[in-house]
Structure 1
Amino acid sequence: MNTRFATAMLLAGSIGLAACAKKAPEELPPPPAETTAPVTDTTPTTTGPQVGSQMHFENAVNGQNVIYFDTDRYNIDSADAAALQTQAQYLGQYPQVNITVEGHADERGTREYNLALGERRANSAKNYLVSLGIAANRIRTVSYGKERPVALGSNEEAWAQNRRAVSVVVN
């Protein structure tokens, strides 16, 4: 008896599902009519990098956001002074922009010595910017010593690139 009941239920379920199946339409609907949406201009009204961004800063100072030092030195020479004057002009024009001056050293010397030298280099750049009228509270300093070289190698060319102070915009 149970087998007959189960078979009857299975047959009734199959018939019920077959009745729910969709049949293909005899004719396909027409394709949607083409509509022309109004053209809106999505290009921004300003071009170039956003004011106050690192890219805007670097473009405005013509890539002079890095100054270089001689071996074991942290004094500002005439080339460094010109670069820092350009940075000061930018910072004077955009008083909402703050920077961090990163001090770096080459791989020679101890870690402690290079951290101290990087700090002196960053502070030297900061002090020069302050002497040009930039508020000291807009300029932070940090020393990375020899920990973040831009040029790998143990030669004078690589060392010269790594003895630097880099001005970086902070938000």
Structure 2
Amino acid sequence: MPYTFGITSQAIWDHIKNKQPFEYDMALHFGLQFDLREIEKETPGLIYTEYFHSLMYLRFASYIRNVAGSRAGKAIMELMKQTFDIRVSAHKKDVNEVIKLAPSGMGFFDSARYAACAEAIILNHGPFYIDQVLYDTVFGNGKVKKWNRQAYNLAVAEYGYIRPISETNKMGD
């Protein structure tokens, strides 16, 4: 059960895929590195905490910035070779609300646009869509939801998190 950023809406995934296919593909790649069942088994209850989800979003921001800058070619080639669908639910209790995710295929069909999307991530210092604004939308329940402070401090110190420019602009800071 890969990590899906708590996103249960196919429409949100499709929007990210259409607007920023590199970010979408790297979100799939990142999420597949984690098995929520294993994490739940090792640390019961952690996957349901604000700390966990804050840290995952922040780690993803650092991850995508690094991948776009140093390993983009390898990641693009890896995703171009693979054709697979990922059927996921955001939580164990959402088994009936399964969403379908598959790599964008942009690397194969439009490599120049795909490379430009990776370059945009570098210039933005991170993701455009999977950020504080989406975190607030997914986990805020109508209230403003900021990053968990402990997770934020850890992400800055250990993972080199830098706030993306687009996020700063969206939040009016």
TM superposition score normalised by structure 1: 0.29
Larger radius of gyration: 1
In terms of fraction of residues, the more strand-rich structure is 1
Q: Which has the higher contact order (CA 8 A, sep 6+)?
A: 2
In terms of fraction of residues, the more helix-rich structure is 2
